[in-house]
Structure 1
């Protein structure tokens, strides 16, 4: 699988996630479509979703419900598309959304692998490939980025690093969509800054590609440690998203 094929798969998945066409993300003009969560959308997307802003770097595509479509149109026409994902401009949108009972909720940056840059990184510790049946005793707080107990049936594959038989680092992937598996990584605090995270992430990325799936990675913009790991593991920024949800849903998350 080459980089072009990987991007094409990602574009099609993003289109399925919000209800647009894959080529919409490549236009030099902004696009607004009615929000429609496809039947093959990423498994962790949960309605209600009022609107979702997505950019692959050429424009902004927004899938929106009717009740805020006028705000969305005004917002993306008022500011450069890349400024729509940041403050202070985002406050313009959020203030107006609040009047209608909604708030900006999730913001994230997504990464895809550059198949020519995934390193053959050696881990300082012994590593082993793990499969679903090996995960049953690993749904613990220390591995909460690698595994998700609520969606355990989607956790497909992992690579663990061991120090004298003790699991000290763990990368795993979730089959969040049919052709793309998302990587999460955890390393115990006392073992960080030793290249374990990037070694496990890059090894897992290759294992995923060998199985004919596209590995992808997600981080908050402020999570520098995670972003550095993505870069060291051969992943490059591919797209960004900003999701709007009802205010009571956001407030519940903060309670």
Structure 2
């Protein structure tokens, strides 16, 4: 196994085994006596009688049992059992390279390449015009997700999507005198965190996005937004989507504001 030895000697496992003289190849691959016996037989084509981590050999549970014997002590893997990846029969070597000096999934610059092997739809999204700096190597999937399992949805590192977003976007948290309800519920109501064509990771550009929840101002909107009256403006609520100035010209504190909005008991204008 000279080729394996050359790549293995600079790996994390090699360094760990050097510090623990009781560990070695047999810690992962099992006893080598039977393997040595059959490997020395001429023209032998049967099983190699060793624990193999190659794709298609053994079950995910059997392979992971060896890895978890050491790595389950880490709190980051405390939710592995029952997680999305575990329940889909992924084994550790589906993502990790155990014999190499560099494990691609542990490097921010190459981790998305590994994740997108399965999550191809997300690879498409992170390359859209508006995206987190994942293609630039400044962020990685594991900044938001714990691939080994979590108590939150979609393997989020925090207990909810919104708490995960607040890890970086603390200024959006508030509290504000007037809160925009989606900000306290789920950021993905308005944003697609992996990437969009619209700016600021918005699912669609305003005013189309705003009108998914909010009714336009009706006839007064032409005066309020400076929209030009055209035959198209006779449509529902007299809104001309193509020539308006946009909701955020007035409602620019979308995430929340401490400024008074109007005299109503429950103001929701989110004005400057």
Q: Scaled by the length of structure 1, what TM-score is found?
A: 0.19
Higher RCO, Cα 8 Å, sep 6+: 1
Q: Scaled by the length of structure 2, what TM-score is found?
A: 0.18
Higher strand share: 1
Greater Rg, structure 1 or structure 2?
2
